[in-house]
Chain A
Amino acid sequence: MEKPKPVTQAAKAVALAAVVLLVCVPFLVIVSTSLASTDEVVANGGWVLWPTQPSLDAYRDILDGGIVTHALGVSAGVTLVGTLLSLACTVTLAYALSRPGVFGGRPMLLLILFTFLFPPGMIPSFLLVKELGLLDSYASLVLPVLVNVFNLVVLRGFFQGIPEELYEAARLDGAGDWRVLFSVVLPLSKAALAVVGLFYAVAYWNSWFYASLYLESDHWPLQQVLRTYVVAGSGLTDATTGEGTISAPQTVQMAVLVIATVPILLVYPFLQKYFTKGVLTGAIKS
């Protein structure tokens, strides 16, 4: 193909730079402000782009025990347990639905896909959780969202892409369903498992609404704490640091934001290379 015109190329470069900056600058401002000293933030009118005297005061204040530390533990626990349970249920279900000739496979699939078209609604779900006695238990954050239809369809599509010969070979060697799943299917599905696992983990980590619905405030995960103290603007500093230490609210708010975002930023680079492979092979086929 011929070379594009210089004007087009310049326009493209500008557009791409704009995309990158629009995503990166907000994060930079948040991180910088959380690391700045109180005086500098106040002098600068509430935020800084690059702290001249970096300090970890804001982090020390909020991690000094109290609400944020506890919420961090809740979030980590729910994310870990929830992701493992969800993956286990999704993998077994997807495997069963991906094999031809499973008893009732087709009706089961339709039954599940229907839930995608017609979700039950907030009030009935809430009343169900209430009547099951799950209110104010961490199970209420995990069980009602255990299997995600989209993730299920992605995994099923991926499993179906595995050549039939491999299944037959394993069968001939006398492997049962569990053996086939663990020794043949899963090792070949690492990309899809990584992506689906990430989706689940992110969903659990980011969830706040169910927590606000089902849990008492002393059991809240990090996002709900963030919502209450940063978005709604209640006084976080008083509650966590006690009397005496007064931190600039701005730096503390930014620090909570950073703590809530960092885990995602940490796992993201390792998993994002699988996105295209994992999501699309599964989703496009089905």
Chain B
Amino acid sequence: MLPGLGYFLLFHYGALAGNLIAFKEYVPFDGIWASPWVGTGNFQRMFVDEAFWAAVLNTVWIAVLQLVFYFPVPLALALLLHSLTRSSIRRFVQSVAYLPHFISWVIVVALFQQLLGDTGLLNSSLDGMGLSTVDIIGNPDAFRPLTVAQVIWKDAGWGTIIFLAALAQVDEQQYEAAAIDGAGPWRRFWHVTLPAIRPVVVLLLIMRLGEILSVGFEQMLLQRDAVGPEAAEIIDTFVYYQGIVGGDYGFAAAAGLFKGVIGALLVYAANKVAHRLGEQGVYK
């Protein structure tokens, strides 16, 4: 167990300590420890930086869109799959639906480009039929719906797995009892199925809220060049461009630390709310 533990100590706690750089001005020659302190200077700069707040706003926007439009899809899909009586069909659809989860974001983005880009499948078909083409990839206005569509394509199937597990644990006898009491399919769904999966739904919702500042870094970074920072800049890409690309390490680390602290606070708060509502939450 020592190698594994060593890994956590070095690469997590070591790096965590490296967040000190947020309070320093990083000088490559001196390293993290010897670089001069600047106190909260990096944070002061950050709080008056318009680009930073634009990135925060974008992040929250995209997260909210994903919450509203992506979150219900796996649940709906799971309910649909669960209602199938033929298990062979169910297993086949499940296998197909899980698959995109294992495809890298590079491939997903390339796929969407090939299908929806200006020379892609959609537009060359439209062109062939004499219709005007639509610019979807590379259009900042279409970018937010596009990212939601990509997330749904990639992960909605995989997201069903946990709901299906919760549904599988519902006692078959409860359905039968409800049916005998005269409950139709809708009433059974409402009074048996939903209460059974409520804890899982709440749990996932909390985790999602806690990660509201983390919306697909790779997904955005891959497409930022095509649509420009106005549409695709999120906190993580802001950190990347300020720090790694721009070399302003202390400033970028401050933005990253800001995100980490807010994220941790959100998880903590959401978990508290879950306990108030009588749910189990992520931890006790």
Known contacts A20-B96, A47-B120, A125-B15; decide if A93 and B109 are in contact (CB<8 Å).
no
Please, which residues of chain A bring their CB within 8 A of the CB of B21?
123-124, 127
Please, which residues of chain B bring their CB within 8 A of the CB of A97?
1
Q: What 18 additional pairs, Cβ within 8 angstroms, besides A45-B119, A122-B244?
A: A20-B96, A20-B97, A29-B121, A30-B114, A45-B128, A46-B121, A47-B114, A92-B3, A122-B239, A123-B249, A202-B102, A208-B106, A227-B222, A253-B114, A264-B103, A275-B98, A276-B165, A284-B165
Bits for A91-114, please: 1 = Cβ < 8 Å to B, else 0: 011011100000000001001110
Known contacts A30-B111, A92-B4, A120-B16; decide if A19 and B77 are in contact (CB<8 Å).
yes
In the complex, A283→B19 CA distance in Å? 31
Partner among A118, A122, A152, A226 whose Cβ is within 8 Å of the Cβ of B243: A122
Please, which residues of chain A bring their CB within 8 A of the CB of B239?
121-123
Contact A26 B115 (CB under 8 A): yes
A239, CB-defined interface residue at 8 Å:
no
Contact B18 A125 (CB under 8 A): yes
Interface residues of A in 47-73 (CB under 8 A from B): 47
Please, which residues of chain B bring their CB within 8 A of the CB of A250?
119
Please, which residues of chain B bring their CB within 8 A of the CB of A230?
106, 110, 113
Partner among B89, B104, B113 whose Cβ is within 8 Å of the Cβ of A16: B89
Contact B15 A120 (CB under 8 A): yes
Please, which residues of chain B bring their CB within 8 A of the CB of A279?
161
The segment from B54-62, B64-72, B140-148, B250-258 that touches chain A is B250-258
- Residues of A within 8 A of B (CB-CB), count: 80
Interface of chain A, main secondary structure: helix
B198, CB-defined interface residue at 8 Å:
no
Contact B260 A119 (CB under 8 A): yes
A179, CB-defined interface residue at 8 Å:
no
Shortest distance between the CB of B27 and any CB in chain A (Å): 12
The segment from A76-84, A143-151, A160-168, A186-194 that touches chain B is A143-151
Bits for A229-263, please: 1 = Cβ < 8 Å to B, else 0: 01110000000000000000010011001001100
Known contacts A89-B4, A125-B11; decide if A24 and B96 are in contact (CB<8 Å).
yes
Contact B3 A89 (CB under 8 A): yes
B99, CB-defined interface residue at 8 Å:
yes
B193, CB-defined interface residue at 8 Å:
no
Shortest distance between the CB of B191 and any CB in chain A (Å): 15
Residue with the greatest number of chain B CB neighbours at <10 A, chosen from A23, A96, A257, A265: A23
Contact A147 B7 (CB under 8 A): yes
Please, which residues of chain A bring their CB within 8 A of the CB of B185?
4
Contact B114 A254 (CB under 8 A): yes
B93, CB-defined interface residue at 8 Å:
yes
Shortest distance between the CB of A253 and any CB in chain B (Å): 7
B38, CB-defined interface residue at 8 Å:
no
Please, which residues of chain A bring their CB within 8 A of the CB of B4?
89-90, 92-93, 146-147, 152
A15, CB-defined interface residue at 8 Å:
yes
Query: Which A-chain residue is minimally distant from B210 (CB atoms)?
Result: A117
Shortest distance between the CB of B98 and any CB in chain A (Å): 6
Please, which residues of chain A bring their CB within 8 A of the CB of B134?
none
Shortest distance between the CB of A121 and any CB in chain B (Å): 4
Contact A272 B114 (CB under 8 A): no
Please, which residues of chain A bring their CB within 8 A of the CB of B153?
22-23
Partner among A22, A111, A144, A280 whose Cβ is within 8 Å of the Cβ of B11: A144
B50, CB-defined interface residue at 8 Å:
no
Shortest distance between the CB of A228 and any CB in chain B (Å): 10
In the complex, A124→B32 CA distance in Å? 9
Shortest distance between the CB of A134 and any CB in chain B (Å): 11
